[in-house]
Chain A
């Protein structure tokens, strides 16, 4: 993927750039909003990673608003030190697709970048999701594994759906908290782990090949191969 990183802090920029390059992406870097807007508007990128507060008169929100006004739909991930919920809403309203508060674990950033990249740009509504022998019918809201029906609660269904839509990708705990429960706070306890392990009980128990995997220091992933 070709990623444009607009970040004024040299150290954070270097760290993010190196990490994304190691993950196999090409990264262009702009140190201020003006240059970032110029690059984003004149070249083709698969993703923008933007700091919200930028020098040069054009901050992250303005940059995205300008791009969106020009019809540019490149996915945007905001990085920001502003954690207030209002700020997040402001960023997403301007046209951002995701919002990550600094400081962040690098695994979190990569997971979010990849989740955004994989997001279907056109909403072609899939009606079935399938990983190995695990099948999910989005219309009848049923889950089967190896042809056997798995009884699943609505929230577990959404959790599994989110994992399956991002099959093969790391999904972090915070991402699950935000996307499945729409909570943006720190639940204090390992609530997400408990929910995933409960889901695992239903999906993987009694089958020799587990599908839901724990990725150390990052989160979870559903994938066919062990």
Chain B
């Protein structure tokens, strides 16, 4: 016995849910949201920093520069002595004890100022005269912003104690750090909410699609009533599903029809042939049976052709063959074609057509549909009766072609069923026909964005006659 093994790729991967999560569009949108939100927070923090801490720094630097320029002025006016006096003056005036000065003579001795030593790192940095340094003042070391210049052989430092500002900066930085943490939290919270909202809005569509995949074709995507992108997606899906439903119905209809009305003539032909085979004594009978069988087969072929035509129209595949045509000319041709039949039966086929009737459609199917209507009308109109083919442009968009006869009309209860495949009203049982004529007309009407309407040609008259109106949209 071979040990039962599971193929490798069927093993559940523990990372799968994680991967699926990372790959989801919801996650990507959420991530995008988080990134944008964080970027906005960072920009905000940067501006805040620049406007507060940065501004303080710039103020200090400006004061130092002014200070240094003032001292240089003094130097030019009165030499080291004047500068030393100025420094002493300024130190005396500095109540907050933030000012730092130091003037060294060429020998490195302190001439004036409040520093104990010349700070080590001053004047060598990349910022030219500017630097930050820890300086020794009155025995303690403080952090200071330093501006160092050379006045001939003397060296001068002007500086500010920035310990306090540093503390302010630290407080500010701490605040920003906290708000960054808060912002990140909000970013991720927002992202999660967004992802959830997205998933929630898509769920009806997903559920519907799943139900349909499972075989329930009647399901439709519910609309949220918000008329947003998701509703539009749902509407498109529903339109698509309706179309598929109609196609499926067409296929079902054809297979029902085949089962119902093609088997019967086939069975008949088969029975006749078998009978003839069993009774071969008379060659004439055999020949007649074969001829009858061929006629039966031809009838089956015609029914089959009609069914395929209807399916062709219903599927909408022929929309590709649509072209602009003059319906008036097409109708005139059909009237002329069937007019001969009417004449031969002593009926009158009259027309009331406009000069021109431009329409986008399928000439062949339109001609066949109107032909079927006329053929029907002629069949049910007694000799001497009249059939009127008329066409007019409807008030709203569209065209109406109607065929009115002076026949017995169609009982109300049969009107709804006329147009179903193979339906034949009781009155028509005796006449030739397959019961597919109106089905085709209806399918052609639908293909052209319209419908077939049946009503009395002249209500109140006895017999009322039938008016079949083929409404065509401007599809």
Contact = CB atoms under 8 A, between A and B. Distances in A.
Interface string A74-94: 000000000111100100000
Contacts of B338: 187, 189, 191
A194 interface: yes
A83 B305 contact: yes
A155 B378 CA distance: 21
B375 A186 contact: no
B340 interface: yes
Contacts of B341: 189-191, 194
Contacts of B320: 86
A85 B337 contact: no
- Interface magnitude class on chain B: 20 to 34
B333 interface: yes
Contacts of A89: 321
Contacts of B372: 188
A156 to B, nearest CB: 9
A189 B374 CA distance: 11
B437 A188 contact: yes
Nearest to A195: B340
Nearest to B303: A186
B250 to A, nearest CB: 14
Contacts of B433: 188
A197 interface: yes
Most buried by A among B298, B317, B344, B372: B344
Interface SS, B side: helix
A18 interface: no
Nearest to A103: B301
A185 B317 contact: no
Interface string B309-330: 1001000011011000000000
Interface string A168-198: 0000000000000101111111110011011
Contacts of B375: 187-189
Interface SS, A side: loop
B222 to A, nearest CB: 38
B321 A85 contact: yes
B314 to A, nearest CB: 13
Contact of A185 (B340, B343, B344, B371): B371
Contacts of B343: 194, 198
B255 to A, nearest CB: 18
B302 A197 contact: no
B10 interface: no
A204 B327 CA distance: 35
Interface string B87-101: 000000000000000
B320 to A, nearest CB: 7
B367 A185 contact: yes
- Interface magnitude class on chain A: 20 to 34
Nearest to B308: A83
Contacts of B337: 181, 183, 187, 191, 195
B306 A191 contact: no
A155 B336 contact: yes
B318 A85 contact: yes
B417 to A, nearest CB: 20
A191 B309 CA distance: 20
Most buried by B among A186, A188, A191: A188
B364 A186 contact: no
A155 B368 CA distance: 18
A194 B346 CA distance: 13
Contacts of B312: 84-85
A157 B375 CA distance: 24
A197 B337 CA distance: 13
B297 interface: yes
Contacts of A194: 340-341, 343-344
Contact of B364 (A85, A187, A191): A85
Most buried by A among B317, B320, B341: B341
Nearest to A155: B336
Interface in A88-108: 89, 101, 103, 105
Contact of B368 (A183, A191, A197, A198): A183
A86 B372 CA distance: 21
Interface of A: 83-86, 89, 101, 103, 105, 155, 181, 183-191, 194-195, 197-198
The 4 closest A-B pairs by CB, nearest first: A185-B368, A194-B340, A188-B375, A194-B344
